[in-house]
Structure 1
């Protein structure tokens, strides 16, 4: 099962608490911005390329369906 970003961030918080010997409140107050770190990562670039590829594929499919519908409508 794939973990959500929230689950991943909370797991990281628990690790910070354990390794840093701090409370959850102190861990949450740390100035770590996981979203910003993710935005600069290779994982984000990879995911963005996958989403772009999927979007282009769906757009092409929709355009083909539109063309088929126009042809069928013209035959009526």
Structure 2
């Protein structure tokens, strides 16, 4: 019975191993945050480009309408 119980208990880890694990987790979190920031930047840039295209189309349409009105 005691043998079975020991099988499921975690062995105490050395302080150095814990520190290394902590550093790895922090690095992973940092990389994930940077990845999300970069994705947000790309998404915002894409949205801004779409907005600019829409604005440009509206300007062209207004320009076309005003040119047609001037001809008539």
Per the normalisation by structure 2, the TM-score is: 0.53
Task: Determine the C-alpha separation between the residues in 2 that align with 1:55 and 1:72.
Answer: 26
Task: Determine the C-alpha separation between the residues in 1 that align with 2:38 and 2:28.
Answer: 15
Aligned to 1:51: 32
More RCO (CA 8 Å, sep 6+): 1
Give the gaps of 5 or more residues in structure 2. 12-17, 58-72
Give the gaps of 5 or more residues in structure 1. 1-21
Larger Rg: 2
CA distances 1:4-53 after superposition (whole Å, capped 9, x unpaired):
xxxxxxxxxxxxxxxxxx55x6423x157xxxx6xx61110000000011
The CA RMSD measured in Å over matched residues stands at: 2.5
Determine helix, strand or coil for the equivalent of 1:71.
helix
1:63 to 29, 36, 44: 44
Per the normalisation by structure 1, the TM-score is: 0.51
Stretches of 4+ aligned residues off by more than 2 angstroms: 25-28
